[in-house]
Amino acid sequence: MEKSSRIYIAGHRGMVGSAVMRKLEKEGYDQIITRTSKELDLRDQLAVEAFFEMERPEYVFLAAAKVGGIVANNTYRAEFLYDNLMIESNIIHQSHRFGVKKLMFFGSSCIYPKLAPQPLKEEYLLTGLLEPTNEPYAIAKIAGIKLCESYRDQYGDNFVAVMPTNLYGYNDNYHPENSHVLPALIRKFHEAKESGAASVEIWGTGSPLREFMFADDLADACYLLMQKYNEKLFVNVGVGEDISIKDLALLIKKVIGYEGELRFNTDKPDGTPRKLMDVSTLNKMGFKPKTSLEEGIGLAYEDFLSRT
């Protein structure tokens, strides 16, 4: 990418898209194209076509998606499948039609089978059953990967896909029901601290292992991949270390300064037992994340406080 290249960030106000935008602006790119969801409905094929015809982006970061935590994924199953299929299909197809030089599609680690060996290697895709609670979202993301691969195979388009691990950071979603585990816990512990509650409920047993990456570290990795990676196989992006939900909760409790107890509600689902990404491909390219989990939680908490 040249500094003067026209770069479209789909989903620029979300956590991932805004992190990519900060990275590009920091690196001196000044032709960044954006649209809010009110300005452009990415599910609308004709509207997306008209947008590409008018703006003619040279590079595309496809970070737009309907996202949410375990409750949202399991409740709005049709919406998660339909909306994400339409968004990615429209953008990828129009990127092909209008000669985009390179597109990067953002997937999710939930694409892997529920009981896949750990750590998760790229070749484990489609080798087993998915986690049922987020299956529609995972299927949509798998379709996005296959769209990138298929447009490359049939037309030679340089469309690549990255699979981020669990992300958190600036502009995250802290909704009490529809957010992911880390921002949901930030909100829970903050509200418990403010109200003086004696305990905080944690869903499940606390035993599942999860990997968490600060979104600005993801943006650094994807900037590197956009410059140097041009292969068909998608690339895992993560930190290569995981933590139990119980230990994550204790760390968030420490950062926020909550003095009460943890109460685990074992009637609630745990989800996948473990999700740790094999990030050897990325590490071979010289990438290492900068932000420790405790530091990142502190930054995310500051962001949460700024919006409450």
Question: Would you name the residues annotated as active-site residues?
Answer: 137
Residue 259 and residue 189: Cα distance in Å, rounded?
A: 9
Residue 59 and residue 44: Cα distance in Å, rounded?
A: 21
For residues 91, 92, 95 and 97, what is the CA-based torsion angle, rounded to 10 degrees? -110
Cis peptide, bond prior to residue 269, ω within 30 of zero: no
Can you say how many angstroms the Cα of residue 69 is from the centroid of all Cα atoms in its chain?
11
Token digits for 240?
């290569």
Kindly report the backbone phi and psi dihedral angles of residue 61, in degrees, each rounded to the nearest multiple of 5, phi listed first: -105, 110
Helix axes 45-55, 77-97, angle to 10 degrees: 30
Token digits for 206?
């606390």
Residue 92 and residue 86: Cα distance in Å, rounded?
A: 10
CB 209 within 8 A of CB 273: yes
DSSP 46-89: HHHHHHHHHH--SEEEE-------HHHHHHSHHHHHHHHHHHHH
CB 125 within 8 A of CB 112: yes
